[in-house]
Amino acid sequence: MTNGLTSTQEQLWWGAIIAGFVVVLAVAALLTILVLLVRTIDQRVTQIKATLVQAEANTSDASLIQTVGEGVDGVLAEGLEHHLFLGRVLDKVRS
């Protein structure tokens, strides 16, 4: 008997101390993992924000797509007219 404790009580105290130490280590490990995960998430959020800024810059002229499309349609229509005209001219030359 030490300090007025029976051997069973002393073993229980040591068990509680060891269990508490294990719990403290587990909590410290989990908090470390949490801090690392939060840091990783923060870095990836920053990367995503930069990507979105680049995407916005890439699509800032999207309003011109309609105008360019109309211009391309005009060029194709003009090309078709030239093709038909040249086809008629060649048909007359061959005849």
Which pLDDT tens digit goes with each residue over 10-47? 999 999 999 999 999 999 999 999 999 999 999 999 99
Reported confidence tier of residue 87, pLDDT bands at 50, 70, 90: confident
**2 pLDDT above the threshold of 80:** no
2: phi then psi, degrees, rounded to nearest 5: -120, 135
Q: How far lies 75's CA from each of 63, 81, 82, in Å?
A: 20, 10, 11
Q: Which of 73, 79, 76, 74 is nearest to 87 (CA)?
A: 79
- Token pair, residue 11, equals 């073993």
List residues bridging with 2 in a β-sheet.
Answer: 5
